[in-house]
Structure 1
Amino acid sequence: MAVRNHITGKRLFWSLMAALTVVTFAFILRPEPVWVDLSTAQRGPLEVTVREEGKTRVKDRYLVSSPVTGFVHRLELDVGDTVIPGELLTLIDPMPASILDARSRAEAEARVAAARSSLQSIRQKAAAAEADADFSQQEYQRLLALRPSSFVSDEQLQQARTTAARAQAILRSARFDEEVASHELAAAQTRLQVSSATANGGKPAERVAVRSPIHGAVLGLVRKSEGIVQAGEPLLELGDPGTLEVVVDVLSFDAVKLEPGLATRLTGWGGPTLNAVIRRVEPVGFQDVSALGVEEQRVKVIADMLSPHEHWQLLGDGYRVDAEFILWQAEDALQVPASALFRHNNGYAVFKVTGDRANIQPVEAGHGNGLSTVILSGLDEGDRVVRHPERGLNDGDRIRVR
């Protein structure tokens, strides 16, 4: 009996040793945990935007040219100086004019008649624009009065405000065109009258005054010094700095996502954030070369200011701004870093961390801005996921956080 117990004890001892050896080798040979970086699914605001550099420009620009061939006096104005309609810009001493024959006089008279008809046409357009502006303002005031009763949504009120602002801008543009047309008529009449022999035998004009057609500022001086100029030669450029628009060159890939009326945010100009709205996406693209020497197809996008003028009164023509076109936004969305998602079974998935192991978790992904992606289903707030999962990481692998 003692011998049998001794043999049984030895067997038990060696069995335990063998089991311990197997466990030891299994522990030594088991795969090492994969080092990973983790992130947490959390709720918060998210925006999907297209961001590009743009520049401001005056909407209505007017190039003032010499109405006659002659000797122009030196322009005493500087860039940025304000001008009012009818203000004297410079004087031109005409060259000795030739006698107008019957054909030349008839052509000059036809030009005067055409300019007069053009002025009448523009006045009619200005009257129509004024009627549209009055109607848009009345509609906005009507919706504003209904707002406390909750019969009007914020979106309808915003659309009415935008429509009223746009109608006012169109009216100002029409009035500028009317002023320009009236001065074009005056220029045509001057060209008819200034000659060595007028129809009524009067004395020829000895000096022609070039006056401002608009209320605005000097945007550029094409010619400052005195000298001989030809009829139609540009002298200076005028415009109203209070009617700015923003021009943004957008990649054609992003331009197809934009449409008129889309909200835009302007930053990076040295002042507060400004609100704008897309007015036009031009249908024609152009080729540009990036800073890295890559040829790109770009499209010009035009945006109008919505913020009050006092917020951007320091902006001028040709200033740089950063434009963000807001494609989508949410105030409270469950999101994870975009680097945590990967393609899986014709969909998306993440490595969800449970304990010390990472398991593949299929998810339904929504909008993303390149940094974060909205998760519609598959995760809950507070779930931990692996960022930048390595190719060697498999379902159920042990992990270790860096």
Structure 2
Amino acid sequence: MAAKRFAGKWLFWGAFVLLAIAAVVFTVRPDPVWVDLATVSRGPMEITIREEGRTRVRDRYVVSSPVAGFLHRVLLEVGDPVIPGELLTEVDPMPASTLDARSRAEAEAKVQSARSALNSTRQKATAAEAEADLAMRELARLQALRGDHFVSEERLQQAKAASDRAQAILRSARFDEEVMAHELAAARTRLEVSAARASGNGAVERVPVRSPVNGSVLGIIRKSEGVIHAGEAILELGDPGALEVVIDVLSFDAVKLSPGVTVRLTGWGGGTLDAVVRRVEPVGFEDVSALGVEERRVQVVADITSPLEAWETLGDGYRVDAEFVLWASADELQIPESAIFRRDGQSLVFRVVGERGELTTVSTGRTNGFYTVILDGLSEGDLVVRHPGRQLEDGSRVRVR
């Protein structure tokens, strides 16, 4: 009976000691670290530069008074369409002295110069028309081969972009031809008016001011009637169907851009438009941001390659958001950039296995600031810790928030 009491006491105290040890271990062991997790996944990835831009009519022409005189009121409004030769306004020439021999020679030289410039622009327009025709035939040829899978979709898109650019260059060349014809007419008008005065004809007809181009009124510089000097601006005309996009880019980012880089245009009130960089200007300028920070920026000019029907409501000076695509891939293993930290020149993450975080070395590739490509060290579906804190160590227990 005593032996049973003795064994019972030992059993009681042994269990008591084990429970005490377990309580101490449970009390002193570290609490799990609360973490946020991210899954290693595969998917498309892009590296882009996003800036704000504005549209601009590529070819603008300022109509000026060919003679000094009295300007009649301009009845046109901004946005009104005009055609070549359309009467914009009229100028009553003021009495002026006859040109002397030197001034007449200069006027005749200007007529000859304007005639030569017109011939030059006509040759350029002919060359541009040939280039546009060749680009259209090349596009038609590739489209015919498309059904037989003899040409890649990328090659077809390049041919379409080349055809669109050639058409834009042709429109610009024809615009320049119309402008040169107007310059020649203006030079002839001044010489003819002087000749009429020299012949003693006191009655001078009104000088019409006509549109040199096919386009729209972009601005009215002088609307009211009154005395006007020769060469003083009256109207600004342009073709709103030939728009380009001007984007002010930080000089740090501008060095990464070159002609041909793809651009996506959004934030203008319609769908996404495709564009391509045509020119990165070699001269920077200083700008002050909304926060008062001085920045060095560079103007980048892009051509819209989407069909005109997709952006026909866009006008001159409209705001757009431009996204330059520097690099793109359809399938990359990636994780959030916030999960990676550096130590001793290595890229590390905490990979969660079970309920513990394991310190794992990874090899990284390109990053867009939000996600980073993983070349080695992780597999698709692995869980990693976002924003790992200092209290997290290799083997630490973790708990998901």
- TM-score band by shorter chain is over 0.9
**SS at 2:222 equivalent:** coil
Is 2:196–2:204's contact at 8 Å kept on the other side of the alignment?
no
Q: Which residue of 1 aligns with 2:216?
A: 217
User: Structure 2 stretches of 5 or more lacking a match?
Assistant: none
Q: How many residues end up aligned between the 2 structures? A: 401
CA distance in 2 between partners of 1:302 and 1:287 (Å): 18
137-146 or 352-361: bigger deviation? 137-146
Give the 3-state SS of the residue equivalent to 1:89 in structure 2. Answer: strand
Bigger mean CA deviation after superposition, 10-19 or 187-196: 10-19
- Please give the alpha-carbon distance, in whole angstroms, between the structure 1 residues aligned to 2:227 and 2:200: 27
In structure 1, the partner of 2:128 is 129
> Does the aligned pair in 1 maintain the 2:98–2:198 contact within 8 Å?
no
Rounded to whole Å, the distance in 1 between the matches of 2:76 and 2:254 is 41
Deviates more, 1:294-303 or 1:78-87: 294-303
> Aligned residue for 1:240?
239
Structure 1 residue 356 displacement after superposition: 1.0
Give SS of 1:323's match. strand
Aligned twin of 1:365: 364
Deviates more, 1:152-161 or 1:73-82: 152-161
Quick one: which amino acid aligns to residue 122 of structure 1? Answer: T
Distance in structure 2 (CA, Å) of the matches to 1:203 and 1:228: 20
Tell me the amino acid that sits aligned with residue 251 of structure 1.
L
Deviations 1:226-247 (A, max 9, x none): 1111111111100011111111
Contact kept, 8 Å, 1:196 with 1:204, in 2: the verdict is no
Secondary structure, counterpart of 1:100 in structure 2: coil
Q: What's the CA shift for 1:148?
A: 2.6
Using structure 1 for the length normalisation, give the TM-score: 0.94
Equivalent residue runs for 1:3-402 within 5 Å: 17-18=16-17, 20-195=19-194, 198=197, 205-402=204-401
CA deviation profile, 1:233-283 (whole Å, cap 9, x unmatched): 111100011111111111112212222111111111111111111111111
Greater shift after overlay, 359-368 or 246-255?
Answer: 359-368
Per-residue CA shift, 1:107-130, capped at 9, x if unaligned?
111111111111111111111111
Distance in 1, Cα, partners of 2:372 & 2:305: 30
Superposed CA deviations along residues 320-362 of structure 1, whole A, max 9, x for unmatched, are: 1111111222233222222111113423221110111111112
CA distance in 1, matches of 2:312, 2:329: 31
* 2:306 counterpart SS class: coil
Residue 102 of structure 2 aligns to a residue whose secondary structure is helix
Helix, strand or coil for the counterpart of 2:88? Answer: strand
Secondary structure of the corresponding residue to residue 128 of structure 1: helix
Q: Distance in 1 between matches of 2:224 and 2:89?
A: 11
Task: Output the amino acid matched with 2:119.
Answer: Q
Provide, for residues 273-318 of structure 1, a one-character-per-residue CA deviation record: whole Å limited to 9, x for no partner.
Answer: 1111111111111111111111111111111111111111111111
The alignment partner of 1:327 has SS state of strand
| Structure 1 residue 23, shift from structure 2 partner | 3.6
The separation in 1 between residues aligned to 2:296 and 2:359, in whole angstroms, is: 40
Moved more, 332-341 or 47-56: 332-341
SS in 2 for 1:179: helix
Query: Distance in 2 between the 1:343 and 1:205 partners?
Result: 84
Query: Secondary structure of 2:147's match?
Result: helix
1:353-387 deviations in Å (ceiling 9; x for gaps)? 01111111122222222222222222222211111
2-structure distance, mates of 1:401, 1:136: 59
The whole-number CA distance in structure 2 between the counterparts of 1:193 and 1:97 is 13
CA distance in 2, matches of 1:104, 1:327: 57
Instruction: Output one character per residue of 1:135-186: Cα deviation in whole Å (capped at 9) or x when no partner.
Output: 2222222222222333322222222211111111111111111111011011
Unpaired runs of 5+ residues, structure 1, are: none
Could you tell me how far apart the structure 2 residues matched to 1:205 and 1:128 are? 41
Moved more, 192-201 or 108-117: 192-201
Q: What SS does structure 2 have at the residue aligned with 1:194?
A: helix
Structure 1 residues 200 and 122: CA distance shift in structure 2, 3 A: farther
The AA in structure 2 aligned to 1:209 is: P
TM-score w.r.t. the length of structure 2 is 0.94
Distance apart, 1:35 and its partner CA: 0.9
CA distance in 1, matches of 2:200, 2:109: 20
The aligned amino acid for 2:148 is S
Residue-by-residue CA offset, 1:17-54 (whole Å, 9 max, x unaligned): 55544443222111111111111112222222111111
Name whichever of 145-154 and 278-287 sits farther off.
145-154
Partners of 1:358 and 1:397 in 2: CA distance: 6
Greater Cα offset, 23-32 or 350-359: 23-32
Classify the secondary structure of the residue corresponding to 1:390.
coil
Contact conserved, 2:266 with 2:321, CA < 8 A, in 1?
Answer: yes
